[in-house]
Amino acid sequence: MKATAVEEFQYLSQSKGVCRECKKIVEVRYVSANGEVFLERHCPDHPVSRALVAESLSWFLDAMKAPIAARPPEKVIERTGECPTSCGPCQFHAQRCNLPVFSITNLCDLNCPICFTYNREDKAYNMSPEEFERHIDFVVEATGGVDLVNITGGEPTRHPQLIELLERARRPEIGRITVNTNGLTIARDPFLAQELARVGAYVILSFDTLEPQISQQIHGLDLTKLKLQALDNLEKAGVQCTLLMVLIGGVNEHELGDILDLALTRKHVRSLTIQTMAYTGQGGSQFGPRRHIPVDGVERRLAEASNGRLQKNHFFPLPTAHPLCYGVGYFLQDEDSSLHSFSELLDKNLLAEHLSEGYLLRPSDALEQALKEAIDRLWAEGGSDALLGTLKHMLKTMYPTGKVLDTHERQRRAEKSIKTIYVHAHMDEDTYEVGRAMRCPDQVPVDAERLIGACNYNLFYRMKDDRFWVQS
């Protein structure tokens, strides 16, 4: 008798993860089965279980070969335990902080069944402006400056001194301040939108559904009208926005096309972030059934929902993060609103090189040169006038003759013609793998002395801080 092959199953690699049942750090494996890639958890005390981390093995293998822009952190803490118990980051962490994430409050006016954090109306905490500034100082010192800072919560608009905090974060070392919000306060209070515009904040508006019933299911309330009102108020006030959609398997997948349309048609919406549902935290850990959608699954669904405007290969892994964590697509939107993928205008490796600082393309001279070459090539190939015109106009505003603009100003100007789509997969207990955490550039400042990778923070550190944790 011959030994038999395991049908369509193959082992790829092993690492460490966490057992959902007992929360112990256990061996995990990347395996493929029927052409898909799973993370398999091997807890000695619990049955083997799997979660989907890539729909396609060939995508996964290609993504792992994609360019890596590595900049280890300069300021680290002493490593006193194995990963993830000594995060700060330690000397072993592989990526510096490109996006500090500040939780400024533990208050929220919602109690969403999909929430992956913990909020506490019973024990209100609002970060004081002084404390906030101390943390900003720390981040600037630790990183030497960042393109982006993210303010989140809780619900940041519940913080009574939000605008003062944002004003304190306006400094030359910080390119841009983004504020996450559910939009409820902004919808009711147009003045807040004006204030946000005044301090130059970008708003990341949570926007998961246009359907009342689904809103009820995932937020506990029908927020659909308020969300659109918030978007209108932000537009009127001239606030630049990102729509943040949490894509939940079996719940709102069919709405991807509508929310994509909304992001593409509203002029003040600069980017769309599709965040895959992480089944962890106050609501998320109870939410079911758990159907993980991986990064390439989002990209495929986007392509399918876009009526041919987007293709899967328009997206590529963000070189500063693990490919299972972040994908990105850059699109030029010309005057007649049609989209042109940067991955068709420019070489993907060149694009990757210009993303070595994080999330926004670096408008270097080399990029200018490459864009000029793209224009020449398009012209020779008979590219559309609308596209050529848009490209030329973008270049002229980014690189005006006789005037040198700073990086952040160039980025702001370029964005007027660009739509960016980010795909971001947070990890939960099922998908947590320490290699992804080690490459994490999104870091949470803690005690003005540590920066902890966001998913490490969510899964292993938040519970050490009772401002952001409720013992269940």
Partner 1 sequence: MSHEKPAIHWVTDHSPAAGEAMFAATRALCNLCGQLCDAKIVFDQGRVLLVKWCLEHGRSSALISSDVQWYVDSMAYIKPGTVPLHREIGEYKGCPDSCGLCSRHQQHTCMPILELTAACDMKCPICLVGDTPAQLTLDNAKRALDTLVRCEGQLNMLNVSGGEPTMHPDFLEIVRAAGRPEIGVISVSTNGLHLSQNEALLRELIERKVVISLQFDGVEDRTYQLLRGEDSMAAMKLRLIDQIEALGGRTSLTMTLARSVNEHEIPAVLDLLFERDSILSVMVQPLALAGRAAERVERDVLDAVTIPEVVDRLVAGSKGVLQRRDFSPLPCSHPSCFALTYLLKTEHRLVPLPSLLDAGNYLDIIKNEALFGTDMDSLIRIKDALYDIWSSDGVIPDRESVLKSIKGILLELNTLDCCAPHTELLDIGTRNIKSIFIHHFMDRATFDLTRVVKCCNHYPQADGRLLPACVRNNLGSVVL
Query: What residue ranges bind partner 1 (CB under 8 A)?
Result: 1-16, 26-27, 29, 42, 44, 48, 61, 64-72, 74, 79-83, 91-92, 94-95, 319, 349, 352-353, 356, 433-435, 438-439
Shortest spacing between CB 119 and partner 1, in angstroms: 32
Residue 321 or 332 having the CB closest to partner 1? 321
Angle, helices 224-237/190-198, rounded to nearest 10 degrees: 40
Pick 65 or 377: Cβ nearer partner 1: 65
Three-state DSSP class for 122? helix
Pick the closer one to partner 1 by CB: 50 or 79.
79
CB of 66 to partner 1, least distance (A): 8
Which CB, 12 or 388, lies closer to partner 1?
12
CB of 85 to partner 1, least distance (A): 10
Nearest approach, Cβ of 467 to partner 1 (angstroms)? Answer: 30
Residue number with CB closer to partner 1 (80 or 472): 80
Tell me the closest approach of the beta carbon of residue 75 to partner 1, in angstroms: 11
CB of 73 or CB of 281, closer to partner 1: 73
Cα-based distances in Å from 63 to 68, 99, 233, 322? 10, 22, 39, 9
The per-residue b/e assignment along 325-360, b for 16 or more CB within 10 angstroms, e otherwise, is bbbbbbbbbbeeeebbbbbebbebeebbbbbebbbb
CA distance to 47, 292, 390, 429, per residue, from 31 (Å): 16, 16, 45, 17
Least distance to partner 1 from the beta carbon of 454, Å? Answer: 17
Select from 331, 464, 325, 468 the least CA-distant residue to 390. 331
User: What CA–CA distance (Å, rounded) separates 469 from 385?
Assistant: 55
At its nearest, how many Å lie between partner 1 and the CB of residue 349?
4
Beta carbons within 10 angstroms of residue 43's beta carbon:
20
Distances (CA, A) of 237 to 148, 181, 196, 241, 295: 21, 16, 8, 11, 33
Nearer to partner 1, 34 or 472 (CB): 34
Beta strands (DSSP E) in 197-318 are: 202-206, 241-247, 269-276, 316-317
CA 70 to chain centre: 18
